[in-house]
Amino acid sequence: MAGITRQLTSTDFEQQNVEYIEFWLQDPFQENQANPGGKLVFNLGGNISEDIIKDGRKLYENGLPDDGNIDLLQKTAWGGTVVPQNQSLIYAFDSTGDERTNQDVGYDGYPDSGETPVIADDPELTAIYSNYSGLDDPANDNYEYFLNAEGDIFDRYKKYNGVEGNTPPDTFSDTDRGANTQPDVEDINRDNTMNTIDSYYEYELDIQPQYLPKSSTEFDNISDANPLKEYLRDFKEQPRALPNGESVNVRWYQIRIPVEGNDRVAVGGISDLRSVRFSRIYLKDFVQPTIFRFGTLDLVRSDWRRYAQTLNDDIPYDSSVDFSVEIIGTIENDGSYERPPGIEPEELYNNNTVVEQNEQSLVLKACDLEAEDSRAVYKNVSFDMRQYKRLRMFMHADDDDSGNLDDEELVGFIRMGNDLTENYYQIEIPLQVSQSTTREGLWPTANEINIPIEILGKVKAQGISDSSLANEDPTFYDVIGDDIRIVSDEFSGYTLGQHRVGIKGNPNFGDIRTLMVGVKNISRDKGDVCGAVWFNEMRLSDMDNEGGWAAVVSMDTNLADFASISATGSQSTSGFGAIEQGPSQRSLEDVKQYDVVTNVNVGQLLPKKWGGIQIPFNYGQSEELITPKYDQFYEDLTLDSRLDAAETEVDKDKIKKQSEDYTKRQSINLIGVRKNRTGDAKPRFYDVENVTLNYSYNKVEHRDFEIENSVSKTVRVGANYAHNFNPVTIQPFKKNDSLFTGKYWKILKDFNLNLLPSSFTINTDLNRQFNRQKFRDADLSGGSNIEIEELFRRNYTFDFQYTVNYNLTESLQFNFTASNNNIVRNYFQDNIINGGNKIQRLMFGMAFWILEIQTGKCKTLG
């Protein structure tokens, strides 16, 4: 038995959707057909023992004594090997002296000179390994660089994986160098722990000469008794020139092992592939030297996931159906695969060389698929199909060497929509079995899905008209030219080359979230069938490149210093976009908008003898109407088609308003209304010039797809009073110099007092807000709605603040500020503000004083 083990960094195979172990293997018996063969085994699991020397102890080379003296180390029970006594912290050799040479001795802990005495000192080892004790390297673990070895390629690499001496400290040249710079450890993933548990899945292949076909004919006719039949996927035999001038035909086999296949064996209680940290490959039961040459060795993942649920509620999901997901391409499967007609591969230009890129198809194979049952794969996507005119995809069908498939027994389908069970479109076409190996024969025109996108819109419009979208089962229609015809039985009545479209719920091809492709058995008379279907080049074509236009108008007018008017207007249509934007990035809505703002100094209209009166008046109004190209409820139907299908003007108006986004704003402002002081009259505290008035009114009306009606009003009124007093200061002792001559009496001489405050201000603010919003009724399937009540919000606040600034003396200032924040009770009762009787309305007026919030504290009076 011989094998290799490595760690894996991407460990969650279920999340990564790893499907296969895939490799190309050259015929290992081509040079010796008498070789009886053996078994090739793969292990994948979260735990594979890292204990190479099965002694239960961890060896790491840099933990051995740096002087090479291992006499103090305790021998293990497995062959007398030794291990370090200290815990491993890092894996690194010392870079100076002989420490690296003394420690780089391999997993047994002994240099060559110490391996022979170990065998001689142990009777059990002597009985088993006495024939090796006289060799230069009894453990056969020495490293040798392949350019220093002699012989053929296999002899040169025979000791390249040796662990003793594979990190020499000084030897480094083009012809002699080490394998790595780190010490060898019994810790494959280097997480500082040695795993001794085995928990993995095992995949075993019986590799014997009689099981490997020798020609394409044998490959095409593999017996069902061959244990490799389900794993062999391709065969190539090509001549190769040898260095000695001879030419031989070399046979290569593509082998694909499903990681979740039925033949896998669970070891150690493993239950899933969510944490696969290790992989191991080994050979066993070989009695003759055998060379395995792997051309590739890959873990193959797919963007497409198997759908492990039933697609027909009348038939439970049968896990015993042989269903596999594969790929086939021009590079690896040349000779058995051709790309579809009209499809040319991309070319890569590199170093004056043109390299054609690989072109592949998705392959779904199903065997023992019963009538009316389906198998499919899916993936999550996000794309908008509305800017395209056609959906296309090539398909190929064959019997997968079963000889059990005829035309119109399998249907290939695409399912797409918001989900895969309740809201989706399904596009189907019956499949013709391919009989030719040409491009046109492998991809018959009758198998191609080539359907106008507008057909999906017609299907949905028909479902809206006859209320079939709410049906429990999907409704199917045959596509005949540009028309559709309802189908009574989804499993019969198919015609080669004719599409069939199904719909369930309210899917939206403007926002596709899930995509599924699969096969369906419609052969009721025949029963179970086996077949393989290729899917290739699913694409959207014939982009809708219709453009739009946009215009902007603006105006600014000034009437001296009396008034100014600013106005702007704009309009854009669906299809308009910037030069750098593609068709899919352009606007899908018509937008109309205007905005008018006026400023008028009304005070200039008053008589001159009333001079100084300032009345700044501001009025603004704007409207914006956004009309989408597509209906907002059925987002893949145009709004025009929905309006044309409306039976009454009331329905038409409802549909139109439901999709439109409309906003109107109005504002009236009188900010800073006051009388400016004129003349030389002395300011008095009762002058009207001390008062400033403010008024603001704002109203916003809005409706859209979610909001049926929304109104927001705000009224704000404020008054400000401010007066500055002239100081009245007394200094009674200022002129009494004879009385206050001493320096200690000077403070009395400077005594002063101000009789009036410096300033007095009062600010009042009344703020009243009203909001009303009505959401549109929730539309449920079946035509029933949930009525949503209209929402109201009313806020009424009165804020009051006054401030006194008082300079008591020239050096002493006193400031006092008080504020009151009041919330007025203001509510609806039986749709009448504040109740319905006079007493309640009177109480509303008194409510201004009932609830008082003063300086941050809530106080309820009465």
Q: What is the pLDDT of residues 385-439, one digit of tens each?
A: 988 999 999 999 998 877 788 999 999 999 999 999 999 999 999 999 998 888 9
pLDDT band at 848 (very low <50, low <70, confident <90, very high): very low
Q: Do residue 440 and residue 499 come from a single domain?
A: yes
What's the number of CA atoms in the CB half-sphere (13 Å) around residue 804?
Answer: 7
Q: How far is the C-alpha of 184 from the C-alpha of 170, rounded, in Å?
A: 18
Of 195, 223, 255, the residue that ends a domain is 195
pLDDT band at 88 (very low <50, low <70, confident <90, very high): confident
Q: Do residue 70 and residue 156 come from a single domain?
A: yes
Asked whether residue 565 carries a pLDDT value surpassing 60, the answer given is yes
pLDDT band at 208 (very low <50, low <70, confident <90, very high): very high
Mean pLDDT value of segment 2-29: 92
Instruction: Give the pLDDT score at 286.
Output: 95
Q: Do residue 325 and residue 417 come from a single domain?
A: yes
Q: How far is the C-alpha of 414 from the C-alpha of 427, rounded, in Å?
A: 5
CATH number at residue 502: 2.60.120.260
Q: Could you tell me the two tokens for 519?
A: 């096969």
- Weakest mean pLDDT among 33-47, 164-178, 326-340: 164-178
Mean pLDDT value of segment 304-324: 90
Quickly tell me which residue has 């000192």 as its tokens: 121
Instruction: Give the pLDDT score at 603.
Output: 86
Pairing of strands 832-833, 18-26: unpaired
Any domain includes 145: yes
User: Residue 228's closest CA among 218, 242, 239, 238?
Assistant: 218
Q: Do residue 191 and residue 273 come from a single domain?
A: no
Cβ neighbours for 716, distance < 8 A, ≥ 6 positions apart:
694, 695, 696, 697, 765, 766, 767, 768
Arithmetic mean of pLDDT over the chain:
87
Q: Do residue 186 and residue 207 come from a single domain?
A: no
Instruction: Give the pLDDT score at 828.
Output: 56
Q: Is 134 helix (H, G, I), strand (E, B) or coil?
A: coil
Query: What is the DSSP track for 47-108?
Result: E----SSSSS---BGGGS-TTS--TTSPBPTTTT-B--SSPP------SSTTHHHHH-B-TT
Q: Do residue 592 and residue 667 come from a single domain?
A: yes
Any domain includes 425: yes
Any domain includes 418: yes
Q: Do residue 614 and residue 468 come from a single domain?
A: no
Asked whether residue 112 carries a pLDDT value surpassing 80, the answer given is yes
515-536 burial: b if 16+ Cβ within 10 Å, else e: bbbbbbbbbeeeeebbbbbbbb
Instruction: Give the pLDDT score at 130.
Output: 73
pLDDT band at 85 (very low <50, low <70, confident <90, very high): confident
Decide if 622 contacts 596 (C-beta within 8 A). yes
pLDDT tens-place string over residues 507-516? 999 899 999 9
Neighbours of 737 (CB within 10 A): 9
Neighbours of 216 (CB within 10 A): 13
Asked whether residue 857 carries a pLDDT value surpassing 60, the answer given is no
Q: Could you tell me the two tokens for 358?
A: 């690989």
Of 164, 195, 226, the residue that ends a domain is 195
User: Residue 233's closest CA among 217, 253, 203, 210?
Assistant: 253
- Weakest mean pLDDT among 104-113, 641-650, 665-674, 677-686: 677-686
Q: How far is the C-alpha of 819 from the C-alpha of 597, rounded, in Å?
A: 35
Quickly tell me which residue has 């106005």 as its tokens: 567
Q: Which helix (H) or strand (E) holds 819?
A: strand 813-823
Taking the CA atoms of residue 9, residue 15, residue 17 and residue 19 in that order, the dihedral angle to the nearest 10 degrees is: 60
Neighbours of 268 (CB within 10 A): 15
Q: Do residue 568 and residue 582 come from a single domain?
A: yes
pLDDT tens-place string over residues 121-152? 777 777 667 777 778 888 889 999 998 888 88
Mean pLDDT value of segment 228-235: 91
Q: Do residue 104 and residue 38 come from a single domain?
A: no
Q: Which helix (H) or strand (E) holds 754?
A: strand 753-754
Instruction: Give the pLDDT score at 172.
Output: 66
Mean pLDDT value of segment 649-663: 92
What's the number of CA atoms in the CB half-sphere (13 Å) around residue 241?
Answer: 2
Instruction: Give the pLDDT score at 608.
Output: 80
Any domain includes 404: yes
Highest mean pLDDT (candidates 294-308, 602-616, 723-737)? 294-308
Instruction: Give the pLDDT score at 783.
Output: 52
Mean pLDDT value of segment 515-531: 91
pLDDT band at 740 (very low <50, low <70, confident <90, very high): low
Instruction: Give the pLDDT score at 845.
Output: 43
pLDDT band at 737 (very low <50, low <70, confident <90, very high): low
Q: Do residue 334 and residue 474 come from a single domain?
A: yes
Total domains in the fold of the chain:
4
Any domain includes 37: yes
Instruction: Give the pLDDT score at 730.
Output: 85
pLDDT band at 780 (very low <50, low <70, confident <90, very high): low
Any domain includes 297: yes
Of 483, 516, 543, the residue that ends a domain is 543
Any domain includes 764: no
Mean pLDDT value of segment 634-644: 89
Mean pLDDT value of segment 580-592: 86
- Weakest mean pLDDT among 169-173, 388-392, 466-470, 597-601: 169-173
Mean pLDDT value of segment 837-854: 41
Q: Do residue 295 and residue 311 come from a single domain?
A: no
Range of the domain at 150: 60-195
Instruction: Give the pLDDT score at 179.
Output: 85
Mean pLDDT value of segment 258-275: 92
Any domain includes 730: no
Q: Do residue 337 and residue 463 come from a single domain?
A: yes
Asked whether residue 640 carries a pLDDT value surpassing 80, the answer given is yes
Q: Could you tell me the two tokens for 427?
A: 């596009």
Mean pLDDT value of segment 593-618: 90
Pairing of strands 813-823, 828-829: unpaired
Instruction: Give the pLDDT score at 843.
Output: 46
Name the amino acid, one letter, at 251: R
Instruction: Give the pLDDT score at 850.
Output: 35
Decide if 395 contacts 479 (C-beta within 8 A). no
pLDDT band at 710 (very low <50, low <70, confident <90, very high): very high
